[in-house]
Structure 1
Amino acid sequence: MRILAFDVGTSGVKAVVTDTEGRLLDSAFCSYGLRAKENGWVDQDLDDILTATRHVGRTLADRNAGIGGVSVTAQMFNLVPVDPAGRPLLPMLSWLDQRSAGEAAALAARMPPDLQFERLGAVVSAKDILPKILWLRDREPEVFGRAFKLLDCKEAVVMWLTGRAVVDHAGASAYRLYDQVRRDWDWPLCQELGIPVQLLPEIRRATDLAGTILDPVAEQLGLPPGVPVVVGAGDVPASQAGSGAVGSGDVHVSLGTAIYFGVTMDQPGRDPARRLGALAHVDSGRWILWLEIATGGAALAWIARTLGLDPEGRVDYDRVDRLVAGCQDQMQDLIFAPWLSGERVPVFDDHARAAFVGLGLAHGPAHLLRAVMEGVAFQMRWALEYGHQFGQDLATIRAVGGGTIGTQWLQIIADILGRPLHTITNPQDAGAIGAAACALVALGHWPDFTPLKARATIDTTYQPDPARAETYTRRYATYLRLYEALHPLYHRETP
């Protein structure tokens, strides 16, 4: 038997086929876009996403007989209202979307940060699902009134496959309407905020069956009728599992459009700064400390595009590596603050914006590229240091995602973190492999997620260079002063 697993990302969908040992047998990819507007609105067409998903699924089904299970992972922190048939009533509000900044501010006025931390488990921003729901309720009441369910991306794909609106515990915890003790929706909280619980999907384990594939969808995908579909998990917990970071203290870092660390914990922990809460894990007995940097790979894609280094819309990583390597000792005091679309950990500021500081006449394109890489890596160090407050000892850091293509950036990250960075074999497939693992556990082929530790083999290790690490530590001290210095500009009163 074989497993078909979809990884529905921000820029496209990848599908993989594995055997019952979790070995990768085949893969396919189809891209799509997102729409960004000057007012901070960023959305995606769910129909485009489903069309791409249908295409890669059919491609793999035609090449691989014996598919006996389907699973899905997808980008998280999106929102799409759907009708009873799973059809979108509006374009999907992306996790990058900031249209609900006013709702986030209104929520903060009604429920101050300390109270949010106690009631919601975290302090939310416009990029979270909850303010998006409040925006939809208040700004699009007609759509809100017609909505059958309010879904994140993965849940919308699973509903298309099965007709069932279900969410795993990790996905439910991302709504910030989740009771960590009861492991169910927080009914009193939903009532207080004016959000009908019946609009939220049913909570199930990631390894439960969502249902069987609908006959018309099976025909479109070229699959036999009755194939079981697993609930699955979003990209954070799926990549955590697929990277092999399944033991207590294991860390994975995803170098995608956004960058985030995931730290496996046996308990949800508690942020001494009372800002950040853990997400549930694919393993129902564990938790993930999720430390996100809002624009990671997106920052590199932006500067590459600006400098004309993305022929046919794809970053030329080989050329980028050559340019960046050649200016290693010529940066002087140039530093980049990478807050192109606000920032999450540790400043939690939707209004923060990026800046080059220390530009001189001697700086050129190569210096700008390296500054962006270094600035993102400095923010990663800041986020990881924030995570230390939870008291979890950190083990090996495994890197996954598209950002692992460029070797120079990985070395910069290792030097700035002052810790070894390990890339795994097929790093871009970690999310899909994690989704496939949910199906392997659900269908009884694996007892739990432990086999992923050995399955996700380390390919390359980037050791920090002591001399560069010392230099970066001095520059990091300057970086830490940037946010405080620039904060008044982001938050000034406009006439």
Structure 2
Amino acid sequence: MDKYILAHDLGTSGNKATLFHESGKLIDSYISSYSTNYFNEIWVEQNPNDWWEAVCSSTLNILKNSNIDPKQIEVVSFSGQMMGCLVVDENGAPLRPSIIWADQRAVKQSAELAESISQTEFYHIVGHRNTPSYGIQKLMWIRDNEPEIYEKTYKVLNAKDYIVYKLTGEFVTDYSDGNGMGCFDLETLTWSNRIVEASKIDIAKLPDLKPSTYQAGVVTPNAAKATGLAEGTKVVIGAGDGVTANIGAGSVKEGKTYCSLGTSAWVTTTSKKPIFDADMRIVTWAHAIPGYYAPNGTMQYAGGSYNWMKEALCQAELQQAKQEGDSPYERINNKIEKAAAGSNGVLFLPYLLGERAPRWDTVSKGSFVGIKSDTTHEEMLRSVVEGVTYNLGIIYDILKEHIEIDDLMVIGGGAKSEIWRQIIADVFQLPVHIPDYLDEAGSMGAAIIGGVGAGLYDSFDVIENFLHIQNSQQPNPQNAEIYQLAKKQFDDFYFALQKVYEKHKNQY
């Protein structure tokens, strides 16, 4: 009898259930959406019951559409949004909505931690900077502002951990989501006593830490009724979405590197030890594969800058595409391709929402520089894509100081653009590959983690059965010098303008 793996990817906008045959073939997927509550300017919450309803709905639809016997599903595994804070009681009941990754309310708590632990020390324990984004700071906020809820808290969980509890009755998390709590020792893979003590959080409220391949249990009778899964189906805990994507993008051995081009974008590699950058420009995650780490730099607004450009600068292309019934993206990319590498000296700094890596700057704004009387529309458009790529290129430069990188896998919506892929190849001076599925890295990674954890696969090398290269592009050596100089100018302009934005920050 054929065996299948069901992977759930709990994102910010919904849950994607994806069914894979044990051979690696993608059978079907189904998305169930849920809402996000944005309020008080920087507060962002979700109802965890919506996650569970989405998992139940998507599972039932997958089973119905695929017409397979639930008993053929060997294992369920997970990818999930990271850096959240869901507090539950001893019965697993949520005590309040989950404070998700995008929430920035814990500014005071982050500052409180900084009084006891320097940014440098924190970074060298966790692999990340101390910011309001992480789980421990959010739990401190609950303690300080909702003490009655904090007192009732039995465990703090992330999205996938809550669903694992709903399926099995077990409270656990994996190393990657533990890392996202912000109180995790990256080298010992344990909770950091140093940070927990400084936070004054009760360590008993943190869940048990396990490898991503850990089998938490099996589907209980109640969970089987709700989801349509067979009672006794294995449940493997999986990992945070930023780490499962490593697996699904083929980054399963040292130096294997990928770039994800979505609204935000990142460059991530795989290494045998954490990478601690002297200027703390990148972060390191605990990898889903035992013995490995996932050094990473994430920029704030990559595809987001492209979409801004589309709406602000490409109304003619949008109107023409609507009239002709074709793709505005194809029209825009054709315009970009007409401009020469380097955009005739025009540079775009893609800091429309400030920046994470490599800047860690909330003040700077997006900027065009180098515009001249003969600057064309095509050059303006190309400069936007090049500016995003320069920023990603700086992240890549930091990574390659520590590890040898031979090529780059590119995934996500932006990877559909052939000209953007070529610009990446030319800026990075690396061969660029795209897989047959651009948006399945998280689900695919979760499935492979589940398969290894359930004993279906001996190693993560099975990715070769799941991931197939569809297209490759080679770097153009003639553009190497152009882009090397342009990237240096890009950096110089950032540091010059950052002083101006900092001086006038109260006017923005």
Provide TM-score, normalisation by structure 2: 0.87
Q: Deviations over 1:335-371 (max 9, x none)?
A: 2222333322222234443333345687787655533
| Equivalent residue number for residue 406 of structure 1 | 417
| Paired AA for residue 147 in structure 1 | T
**Matching of residues 435-446 of structure 1 within 5 Å:** 435-446=446-457
Contact 1:39 1:99 in 2 (8 A): no
CA–CA separation in structure 2 for the residues paired with 1:364 and 1:143: 58
- Number of the residue aligned with 1:434: 445
- In the alignment, which residue of structure 1 is the partner of 2:42? 40
Structure 1 residues 9-53: Cα deviation after superposition (integer angstroms, max 9, x where no partner): 233332211122222222223444545558333444434443333
Unmatched 5+ stretches in structure 1: none
| Correspondences of 1:480-491 after superposition (within 5 Å) | 480-491=491-502
1:370 aligns with 2:372: no
Aligned pair 1:273/2:279, yes or no?
yes
1:254-305 CA-partner distances (Å, limit 9, x unpaired): 2233212221112224433356552211111111112222222333344445
149-158 or 245-254, which deviates more: 149-158
Q: Deviations over 1:433-474 (max 9, x none)?
A: 111111111121111111214542211112222333432222
Verify: 1:475 aligned to 2:486, yes or no: yes
SS of structure 2 residue aligned to 1:480: helix
Letter in 1 for 2:451: L
**Following the alignment from structure 1 to structure 2, what is the Cα–Cα distance between the partners of residues 34 and 360?**
43
2:269 aligned counterpart, secondary structure:
strand
Q: Distance in 1 between matches of 2:195 and 2:413?
A: 38
Corresponding residue for 1:264?
270
Cα distance, 1:368–1:215 mapped onto 2, change above 3 Å: farther
Q: Tell me what 1:147 maps to.
A: 153
Query: What SS does structure 2 have at the residue aligned with 1:464?
Result: coil
Could you say if the C-alpha distance between residues 68 and 323 of structure 1 is closer, same or farther in structure 2, counting changes exceeding 3 Å? same
Larger CA deviation: 42-51 vs 72-81:
42-51
Number of the residue aligned with 1:295 = 301
Within 2, Cα distance between the matches of 1:125 and 1:414? 33
Within a 5 Å distance, the mapping from 1:88-103 to structure 2 comes to: 88-103=94-109
2:85 aligned residue: 79
Partner of 1:20: 22
| Structure-2 separation of matches of 1:491 and 1:102 | 21
The aligned counterpart of 1:337 is: 349
Q: CA deviation at 1:110?
A: 3.8
Contact 1:423 1:458 in 2 (8 A): yes
Q: Which has the larger radius of gyration?
A: 2
Structure 2 gap ranges (5+): none
Q: Judge conservation of contact 2:5–2:21 (CA < 8 Å) in 1.
A: yes
Work out which of the residue numbers 184, 189, 201 in structure 2 matches 1:183: 189
2:426 maps to 1:424: no
SS in 2 for 1:285: coil
Q: How many residues align?
A: 492
**How far off is 1:207 after superposition?**
1.0
User: Structure 1 residues 196, 362: CA separation in 2 closer, same or farther (over 3 Å shift)?
Assistant: farther
Q: Distance in 1 between matches of 2:340 and 2:87?
A: 48
Verify the 8 A CA contact 1:126 1:350 in the aligned structure 2: no
Encode CA deviations 1:386-440: one digit per residue, 9 max, x unaligned: 2233x21113211222332232322222222221211112121121111111111
Q: Is the 8 A contact 2:217 2:234 kept in 1?
A: yes
Q: Bigger CA drift: 479-488 or 332-341?
A: 332-341
Amino-acid identity (%): 29
Provide Cα deviations, 1:366-389, integer angstroms capped at 9, x if missing partner: 655533322221110011112233
The 2-side partners of 1:432 and 1:202 are apart by 24
In 2: Cα distance, 1:361 partner to 1:86 partner: 64
Cα offsets for 1:169-207 (capped at 9, x unmatched): 122122231233442212343122111112212111111
Q: Which residue of 2 aligns with 1:67?
A: 73
Q: Give the direction of change, closer, same or farther, for the CA distance of 1:203–1:77 in structure 2 (3 Å limit).
A: same
SS in 2 for 1:428: coil
Partner of 1:115: 121
The match for 2:224 is 218
Matched, 1:357 2:369: yes
Which amino acid in the other structure matches residue 290 of structure 2?
S
Distance 1:89 1:316 in 2: 46
Q: 1:118 to 1:243 in 2, by over 3 A?
A: closer
- Which residue number corresponds to residue 206 of structure 1? 212
Once structures 1 and 2 are overlaid, which stretch shifts more, 27-36 or 434-443?
A: 27-36
User: What is aligned with 2:475?
Assistant: 464
1:439/1:396 Cα in 2 relative to 1: closer, same or farther (>3 Å)?
A: same
SS in 2 for 1:150: strand
Partner SS state of residue 121, structure 2: helix
CA distance in 2, matches of 1:407, 1:48: 37
Does 284-293 or 355-364 show the bigger shift?
355-364
CA distance in 1, matches of 2:153, 2:206: 10
CA contact (8 A) 1:125 1:349 kept: no
Following superposition, the deviation at residue 332 of structure 1 comes to 3.7
Distance 2:140 2:364 in 1: 22
The 10-residue stretch of structure 1 (114-123 or 200-209) with the greater mean CA deviation from structure 2: 114-123
SS in 2 for 1:13: strand
Q: TM-score of the superposition, structure 1-length normalised? A: 0.89
CA drift of 1:102 comes to: 4.1
Change (3 A) 1:116 1:412: same
The yes-or-no answer on 1:283 pairing with 2:306 is: no
The answer to whether the 8 Å contact 2:168/2:219 transfers is yes
> For the aligned residues, what is the CA RMSD?
3.0
Q: Given residue 16 of structure 1, which amino acid in structure 2 is its aligned partner?
A: T
- Select 2:336's aligned residue among 310, 314, 324: 324
The CA distance in 2 between the partners of 1:430 and 1:452, in whole Å, is 11
More off after superposition, 477-486 vs 25-34: 25-34
Verify the 8 A CA contact 2:282 2:395 in the aligned structure 1.
no
Between the aligned partners of 1:362 and 1:84, the Cα distance in structure 2 is 68
- Contact kept, 8 Å, 1:73 with 1:238, in 2: the verdict is yes
Corresponding residue of 2:239: 233
AA in 1 matched with 2:357: V
Maintained 8 Å contact 1:61/1:221: no
The structural deviation recorded for 1:5 is 0.4
